[in-house]
Amino acid sequence: MKKKPFDFNRRSFLKATGAASAALGGAGLGLFGVQSGRDPMSYSGAENLQGATQHFNRKKYQVDSPTYEKVGETSRIDARTEVIFGRMGRLRHWNEEKGLESLDPVTRKYYEVHPEDLELDLYLRKAIFPNRRKDNAEYGDEFILAEAWSHAMGAVWPQGYNTPPAESDFPHPRYGRQTPLELQDPGKTAKLIKKMAHEFGSTLVGICKLNPDWVYRHAMPGRGFDVEAPLEVPKHWEYAIAVGTPMEWDPFYANPNYGTSHDAYAKSRIVAFRLAAFIKELGYAARAHTPGTDYDLAVPPILIDAGLGEQGRHSVVITPELGSNFRPAIVTTNIPMAVDKPIDFGVQDFCKTCKICAEQCPSGAITTGDKEVIRGYKRYQLDISKCHNFWYSNLGNIGCRLCVAVCPYSRKSNWLHKTALQVTANDPTGLTHAGLTGLQKRFYPAPNAQDYYMPSLGGKNASYRKPPWWLRTRDFIKLKGGQS
């Protein structure tokens, strides 16, 4: 029988499939070789500096307008009173007999408008601090290792600025480069700056134009400004580079007691100061705005503008890679760079129904309600006085970080949570959000919110998860009681 020219029988099919498979397999091996040669994990000891930590494909989720909504006339933050650290500093002059009269006019006026904040801020001094000292003597030994680790992580802390931007932001007048180097292209510069940010230790980096709305109306003390004079936005603060590093994951899940902000605070602070130094070496101006309180601006909206993430119900920015488990820093500069776009990967819809952070917040600082208009922008309200009071209402390391630990987005980047992230980011109906929130609540249970308080305030000193083995004091130290 004569064979037809195109008789594609089973045998031919298998032969063709075999040949195609061999070709594909060979090509795959070649690509595998290239990939393993480039693999960030092969940079032993410097794996996290290769930029692979920012692995989410942001391009697909870029939007022209940020996910916050401008709804009216905007105003800038007065750091003297609207930032808790500024306010608490001024409350030091409080005199019980003189009452509000003991405070300066600006703080007095603030508390007259917000009497509930005065009550909460004074409660911290009058009740929480004494209780904490007492409880710490009785129960605090559990946290000796956690506190030692936290202090050690914050031990390397670059010196902040004590001069205004006109002096601090520019290259040294004698030793620095007085004429900025000519750059080839803003796109290339942005790429270089991002690479440097990773090299300096940053996990995430994004760039945006600085919106003056985010700069404080009155500065924080200790930044080289006259805090009583309005802060004029310096002309050379044209761009903002946002960087971020994670808090160590295992203690992070053991918040509020065992985790600390100091590890990521110090890392991000070091990154920002290195980045500012690098930019100044090129002859441009740069200023680092860093943790703990060395900021001249509000950080979350800048992170949004720079495309790093979206603001969640708990007011913290959620990123695709780290969820809310990171601490940011900003560098303001005039080096010309291409900017990033904000992203929308479904957080606004998710937060509308999830509410786990609000349910888990022991102090009730996070709203379960809708967004409100705050300084001309629509966002979820956070009662910072309640939040701040809880920082001292539990034992172990100062602070809380529970809202960020329980956030479903704050999961390690294993295949399961990466898949869940892709599902939520690509579900325009929002149907999967309720399902995933339900799974989170049932599969990943948490203590009762009130159990996080220290015993004298009616709690059980609970933590969200058990501490890692290396922070369990009893396993390493012979405890005699009252050593904390």
Partner 1 sequence: MTFFNSGLFWFIEGVLTCLSVVGFKLWMDDRGVKLCWWKWALTVLWTGFTAFVIAFVGVNIGDGEPQAARLGALIFGVLAMVSGAVLWRLLNLNSNIGK
Where along the sequence are the contacts to partner 1 (CB under 8 A)?
32, 36, 41, 250, 253, 412, 414-416, 442-445, 465-466
* Nearest-10 crossing angle of helices 431-443, 415-425: 150
187 vs 435 by CB, closer to partner 1? 435
In the bound state with partner 1, the residue whose beta carbon lies nearer, of 8 and 415, is: 415
Q: Which is nearer to partner 1, 5 or 445 (CB)?
A: 445
Nearer to partner 1, 253 or 284 (CB): 253
Nearer to partner 1, 18 or 212 (CB): 18
**The tokens of 392 are what?**
């001292």
| Minimum distance from residue 462 beta carbon to partner 1 (Å) | 15
Cβ closest to partner 1, residue 8 vs residue 443: 443
- In whole angstroms, the minimum distance from the beta carbon of 250 to partner 1 comes to 8
* Least separation in angstroms between CB 416 and partner 1: 5
Nearer to partner 1, 4 or 442 (CB): 442
CB of 121 to partner 1, least distance (A): 37
Minimum Å distance from CB 465 to partner 1?
Answer: 7
Whole-number minimum distance, CB 444 to partner 1, in Å?
6
Q: How far is the CB of 225 from partner 1 (least distance, A)?
A: 46
